[in-house]
Structure 1
Amino acid sequence: MIRVEHSGDCCTITLARPEKANALTEAMLKSLASAVLATSAKVLILTGEGKVFSAGADLDGMRAGLGLSPAWEAASGAIAAFPGLSIAALNGTLAGGAMGAALACDLRIAVPSASFFYPVMRLGYRPQPSDPGRLAALVGPARAKMILLAGQKIDAETALAWGLIDRICAPDTLIDTAMSLAEHALAADPGHVAALKRMTNGETP
């Protein structure tokens, strides 16, 4: 349910459970974290199969306690710690707990039909610990509260205006756009990529 493909110094990880709108199970989260930690690529692209990036957590899993699993933080933490350039190529709607993986990426691009929501208030769950801070860092505290506390569902144009995503592109150009954004990182020394990333994250280079 996680497909990993390497092409040169680029690693593409695809959520491949389209029949369930790529809803995330614990096994998928663990596989995602393992794949990110295992790659030595300079660039990581995270995308989904089908017309939805991910509907969030698998409902059967949530009933069995998935919401409290450390696998969520392990997956987003692995992505955040990836030393190269990470790009979420959102092929459709990004919902619920799947937001964490996309928020942990350096860049986010999306198709025009994508929508974004995190219904933790309505469902009575708490977001994963790192998600609110990462969300607020991108869109600001008030807009983060619009999504988390007011339960607002936003479209791609609004997400772009708020800074949640960085570019909107046609579905048939999504991966090509990601590769275009990765061009300079792929051509650079990996140590240089890692140093620039640490600097833009406010860390010591």
Structure 2
Amino acid sequence: MYSSLIVETSDRISTITINRPDKLNALNKTVIEELGKAIDEVINDPEIASAIITGSGPKAFVAGADISEFNSLDAAGGKALAQKGQDLVFSRIENSPKPIVAAVNGFALGGGCELAMSCHFRVASESAKFGQPEVNLGLIPGYGGTQRLVQLIGKGRAMELLMTGNMIDAATALQFGLVNHVVKAEELIDKARSILSLINTKAPLAIAGCIKAANAVYNEAENGYSIEIETFGNLIASADAKEGASAFLEKRKASFKGQ
């Protein structure tokens, strides 16, 4: 089904592994298109509650974009490339109603850093490194990196990383708030799965509501407080909310159905 990805699902968690280790899992047209299909599967398959995105091999999560595809592009082609990536993958991940976590197992540079940042949060191995080195190519990030890096670590730190092209290690990424957890490489997927396993016990509609309302903080076209109020109102009438309240009052574990 996929030529550049390995997709496996167990316990309602889909693990999407970018599988180009000889190219340090660099993003090319095929990877972008297949990631788009895999994300659609996560969103639309009722048997999948959440997902992990990671890279194949010990060296890289995604070490960037495939630069060989850049040389033939003019301005219109460059805009189309960036827009396609945003539409198919990066914005789809960010706005997925199901949680998608990046398990960063090595270099997350350029498009790889952008891919990790589009996920709802990030877990990193001790060897992970992050950076947006596009200025070294005479470019800027094109898959949302200038926006999400500022959102996640603040304008001053983001400006320095964007303009120097420098990398930061996992410990610094944790300090900056770019990642939530740093663990040993052999514990990385288990850590991501343990967090998602807990999230998967919660009410699916409420999880989707958290994602929608939190994303509205950064959308100038939306009023986040209004979205929160509307979502709260819709959820309080749901079967899951009734079940949650009943379970709390009866001192038992809730059984959520996503309804």
| Band the TM-score falls in, shorter-chain normalisation | over 0.9
In structure 2, the gaps of 5 or more residues are 217-223, 232-259
Instruction: Write the distance in 2 (CA, Å) between the matches of 1:119 and 1:167.
Output: 23
Instruction: Write the distance in 2 (CA, Å) between the matches of 1:135 and 1:42.
Output: 27
Identity level (%): 33
1:128-185 alpha-carbon deviations (Å, 9 max, x no partner) = 1522111111000011111111222111111110111111011111010001111222
Counterpart of 2:50 in structure 1: which amino acid?
Answer: V
Counterpart of 1:71 in structure 2: which amino acid?
Answer: K
Look up the SS of the partner of 2:64 in the other structure: coil
Instruction: Write the distance in 2 (CA, Å) between the matches of 1:173 and 1:64.
Output: 41
Look up the SS of the partner of 2:70 in the other structure: helix
Instruction: Write the distance in 1 (CA, Å) between the matches of 2:34 and 2:113.
Output: 17
- 1:30 matches 2:33: yes
Instruction: Write the distance in 2 (CA, Å) between the matches of 1:178 and 1:84.
Output: 14
Is the Cα–Cα contact under 8 Å of residues 30 and 71 in structure 1 kept in the other structure?
no
Instruction: Write the distance in 1 (CA, Å) between the matches of 2:204 and 2:72.
Output: 41
- For 1:123, the equivalent position in structure 2 comes to 137
TM-score (norm 1): 0.93
- 1:42 matches 2:49: yes
1:84-125 alpha-carbon deviations (Å, 9 max, x no partner) = 111100011101112221111111011111111111112111
- 1:165 matches 2:179: yes
Deviant stretches of 4+, over 6 Å: none
In structure 1, the gaps of 5 or more residues are none
Cα distance, 1:67–1:28 mapped onto 2, change above 3 Å: farther
Counterpart of 1:141 in structure 2: which amino acid?
Answer: K
- Using the TM superposition, give the Cα deviation of residue 67 of structure 1 relative to its aligned residue in structure 2, in angstroms: 5.2
**1:113-152 equivalences in 2 (<5 Å):** 113-128=127-142, 130-152=144-166
Instruction: Write the distance in 2 (CA, Å) between the matches of 1:169 and 1:129.
Output: 27
- For 2:10, the equivalent position in structure 1 comes to 7
Counterpart of 1:72 in structure 2: which amino acid?
Answer: G
Is the Cα–Cα contact under 8 Å of residues 95 and 212 in structure 2 kept in the other structure?
no
Counterpart of 1:156 in structure 2: which amino acid?
Answer: A
Counterpart of 2:84 in structure 1: which amino acid?
Answer: A
Q: Which of 166, 169, 172 matches 1:155? A: 169
Q: How much is the aligned-residue C-alpha RMSD, in angstroms?
A: 1.6
Q: Which of 195, 203, 210 matches 1:189? A: 203
My pick for the range that moved more, 187-196 or 48-57, is 187-196
Look up the SS of the partner of 1:94 in the other structure: strand
* Structure index of larger Rg: 2
Q: Which of 47, 67, 71 matches 1:59? A: 67
My pick for the range that moved more, 37-46 or 153-162, is 37-46
- Using the TM superposition, give the Cα deviation of residue 195 of structure 1 relative to its aligned residue in structure 2, in angstroms: 1.3
- Using the TM superposition, give the Cα deviation of residue 15 of structure 1 relative to its aligned residue in structure 2, in angstroms: 0.5
Look up the SS of the partner of 1:154 in the other structure: strand
Q: Which has the higher contact order (CA 8 A, sep 6+)?
A: 1
- 1:111 matches 2:125: yes
